[in-house]
Structure 1
């Protein structure tokens, strides 16, 4: 069947019918929101994105969306302690446009990273996670520095198994473990330094969405074009998109770059 925003809205209203939840549809923005009636905490879904996935994957796309919404809403209504769960705190990369406050006004904790990215912090709950806010820190008298140290240690403990692909004499390495923190490996400095040490050309890194990390050993101009196309494709497909701009890695620093077709990259001003 041909899916439309109105059809999808109706399907979601039926599937997410709950006495404590309310739903709304924004016709101008083509979004559907579901939230707790009391706290106003909830999730906003961009319907055209779901329709695009429905056209590719059929009913499973809606099943997955329903599952993620229900999981997220249930977590929003729970109180979570950090003490005793130190091993489950991880950094998570987001675009700089990502909201720094929840709909209910809670301030998220974060650290600036690059011109394109920001680091938020997550308490891993198994099948999903909860982003840590200031209220959670204050409740246990924790500091941002403590979260930074714990999460930096934990991200280094994650696997670093990379899949390798050679295209037009350029080496591309992919991390896609599906543990929710693939892009977070960009914060594992020892991994990046090892890749830099073993690279033949310039090292470029991309985090187009949360569930992938691309490391590229660029050895000719065609390598930049391939990386640009690859990053854009992943960015368009990601459930939590981050940035379509790759980074050059030099002297332990990440510099966002524009890649011009058939040309060398230029630094982003």
Structure 2
């Protein structure tokens, strides 16, 4: 898989290095050393179902990400292009050249980063970028959350064994971020009659579940794992309970019973 991706990027001024121990491919601009690291197992799993489409998709992502990374970007005048993005707590908190990324703690499994939307891609905001233009953390956070509320919300619904599952997929790059919109969370809270559970498997989907019985937990766990394995930017295979306006990560073990992850949750 590393070879096939590298071949498609052969005509670009980038170097590709397969990192065997990490099962990843590092793509860098030769002149600056800036680049992205792609995890290969998820791409291989996606390739088994989608074949060449999966490879073309990741190549497109690499091209857009590297182009955005190597161009100079400014925040001023682009206030309407700021959005929050959800990432796993294992996601790097600084750029490859050592600049700290701007983020907020969220749950034991997730963090909130902030991005400047560039159309077909986006660039995560770092402290250097923020300070260069005399912005501050609060301003970026409030602007990003305000912009999030303007995005359209598209929902598909499915029912399994008396449990209802809602899939939010607008395909705009900020689907997972919708859980930061209080109006979206409240709308699901009002329509759910059983236990409200949520899965954030990757950045391009949120699964809201109205759990009515034990089977519902099992189905949610299977959905979360399936989406996590196929996502371009995976977040977490764990699910969350939504209680008292807080997300609590849970493992779903044994006879479909949810178990607290054991980590201290953060609002």
TM score, norm. by length of structure 1: 0.91
Are residue 248 (structure 1) and residue 244 (structure 2) matched? no
Number of matched pairs: 262
Match of 2:134 among 130, 134, 141: 141
Which of 197, 205, 215 aligns to 1:222? It is 215
- Secondary structure of the corresponding residue to residue 166 of structure 2: strand
Match in the other structure for 2:153: 160
Unaligned runs of 5+ in 2: 263-267
Q: Deviations over 1:25-65 (max 9, x none)?
A: 32333332221223211012233433333332222222222
Bigger-Rg structure (1/2) = 1
Please give the secondary structure, in 2, of the residue aligned with 1:65: helix
Q: Look up the match of 1:25.
A: 18
The C-alpha deviation readout for 1:58-113, integer Å capped at 9, x for no partner, is 22222222222111111111111111111111100000000001111121100000
Q: Give the direction of change, closer, same or farther, for the CA distance of 1:19–1:116 in structure 2 (3 Å limit).
A: closer
**CA-to-partner distance for each residue in 1:153-181, whole Å, 9 max, x for gaps?**
11111122311111111111110111101
Tell me the equivalent position of 1:123.
116
CA deviation string 1:95-140 (max 9, x = no partner): 0000001111121100000000000011111111111111110111
Residues in 1 aligned to 2:12 and 2:252: alpha-carbon distance in whole angstroms: 50
Moved more, 239-248 or 60-69: 60-69
SS class of match (1:207): strand
Matched, 1:64 2:27: no
Matched, 1:82 2:75: yes
Cα deviation, residue 267, structure 1: 1.6
- SS of 1:265's equivalent in the other structure is strand
Q: 1:226 and 1:129, CA in 2 relative to 1: closer, same or farther beyond 3 A?
A: same
Cα distance in 1 for partners of 2:229, 2:7 equals 28
Distance 1:194 1:235, change over 3 A: same
Which structure has more relative contact order (CA 8 Å, sep 6+)? It is 2
Work out the CA distance in 2 between the residues paired with 1:173 and 1:28. 38
Contact 2:153/2:170 (<8 A) preserved: no
Aligned mate of 2:48, from 40, 55, 61: 55
Q: Corresponding residue for 1:183?
A: 176
SS at match of 1:234: helix
Contact 1:39-1:104 at 8 Å conserved across structures: no
